[in-house]
Amino acid sequence: TRTYTYNIPSHLRDIEYVLSDLEVVVFVAEGQQEIVTGAKSEMQIVNGAPAIKWLTDIETCSCASEIELGAVVFNFSETEVSSMEFKYRLDDGAEQTVTVQQALAPMTTDTVSVGIIPVVSGNDHVLYASLPAFNSSVAIPGAPFYELPVKKTVVDAEGDKFMFVLTTDRYASETSFKIYNPSGVYLEDGGFKDLTYNGITRRQYVFDPPASGCYKLEVYDTGGNGISSGNGNGYIEFRDATEEANLIFRNDGKFGSQANYHINITDINSSIAGSRLDNTVRLYPNPVSNLLHVEAGSDAVTVEVFNMQGQKVCFADKSEVNVAALPAGVYMIKVHTDKGVAVKNFVKQ
């Protein structure tokens, strides 16, 4: 009996293998010539475990200075995974451990929310995470740490009309953008034409947000060198649409493949009401055993529930949420309305 170990060549390590398609061929030969006998067999996984494939930033369209860390996990196992233990840290900070209760069938892939991580707006950060155990602390020896560079820039804007200025370099065909409102895509554009010489093309868009809330601007460059690459000094500006055209933020165009901004928009008439939203939202009963009611004075209510480790544990698109399955403890709830977002705590009995 012999045991063989095969190291995947480095030039093949970015290829996603479909394990059910792989076979093993074994043969006996006279030197390097005639094959005397041989056989092939399908592979059977006997010591598999769940593994992180990569990390991702789960978009929550939130103007809070935080990142929802996600891990794309493949269950390289013959049994169902019911829980996963993650270790993570931000930059050189303290290592955190969190257990996520999420089912994952054998040989399937899913995105797992590891937790909400506070970051500093506008700063470059790196998130590190590993998956060292599953199913009530079944160890995964040698589980590696993966890393995810993140940057979240949050800006405040007050008013009901804005001006988005996009100035592209010579290779404008590489550039496009999207502006997301709090519930989906509001405006998107692209299809620009290149110049025949080094220079810039300036485009100006009037942005009329339909309501206050958190908007997101994404500007893309398929060339991977931004819009100020030496072939013209492109840039991004976001201004109010007053006569003074006051500057809210500016990007010098040197952003690589993508520039992101979260814009917390409040109009002049509703900003006072928005600042009082936390005081007008009422939760009852609190403490709660089963059904938590949310009274916000609005028909358009969605709620997100987080535990004290920052994990999202519940979501509802109505003014009541069933928390009966949650363990006893203190939880944070984010209430999204047409007037803004309120944050409250409640106790689950």
Q: Is the pLDDT of residue 38 over 70?
A: yes
The pLDDT value recorded for residue 270 is 45
The 3-class SS string of 262-322 reads: EEEEECCCCHHHHHCHHHHCEEECCCECCEEEEECCCCCCEEEEECCCCCEEEEECCCEEE
**What average pLDDT does range 305-321 have in this prediction?**
77
User: Averaging pLDDT over each range in 58-62, 75-79, 234-238, 343-347, which range is the top one?
Assistant: 234-238
Q: Is the pLDDT of residue 15 over 90?
A: no
**What average pLDDT does range 94-100 have in this prediction?**
94
Give me the chain's average pLDDT, please: 86
Question: Between residues 10 and 231, which one has the greater pLDDT?
Answer: 231
Tens digits of per-residue pLDDT, 204-213?
Answer: 888 878 778 8
Percent of the chain with pLDDT over 90: 46
d(CA 28, CA 38): 6
**What average pLDDT does range 194-209 have in this prediction?**
90
Q: Is the pLDDT of residue 272 over 50?
A: no
**Out of 96-100, 168-172, 185-189, 283-287, which region has the weakest mean confidence (pLDDT)?**
185-189
The pLDDT value recorded for residue 252 is 95
User: Averaging pLDDT over each range in 95-99, 139-143, 176-180, which range is the top one?
Assistant: 95-99
Which residue carries 């394990």 as its tokens?
19
The pLDDT value recorded for residue 153 is 94
What pLDDT band is residue 273 in, cutting at 50, 70 and 90? very low
**What average pLDDT does range 54-77 have in this prediction?**
90
**Out of 48-57, 191-200, 232-241, 310-319, which region has the weakest mean confidence (pLDDT)?**
310-319
The pLDDT value recorded for residue 300 is 61
The pLDDT value recorded for residue 308 is 61
Are 226 and 193 in contact by the 8 Å Cβ rule? The answer is no
What pLDDT band is residue 279 in, cutting at 50, 70 and 90? low
User: Averaging pLDDT over each range in 132-136, 308-312, 345-349, which range is the top one?
Assistant: 132-136
The pLDDT value recorded for residue 83 is 95
Q: Is the pLDDT of residue 61 over 50?
A: yes
Q: Is the pLDDT of residue 271 over 50?
A: no
The pLDDT value recorded for residue 277 is 57
The pLDDT value recorded for residue 274 is 41
**What average pLDDT does range 274-291 have in this prediction?**
74
pTM, two decimals, is 0.65
Tens digits of per-residue pLDDT, 147-194?
Answer: 999 999 999 998 888 999 999 999 999 999 998 887 677 777 888 999
**What average pLDDT does range 102-113 have in this prediction?**
92
The pLDDT value recorded for residue 111 is 95
User: Averaging pLDDT over each range in 7-21, 29-43, 73-87, 288-302, which range is the top one?
Assistant: 73-87
d(CA 100, CA 4): 35
Closest-CA residue to 192 (of 234, 254, 230): 234
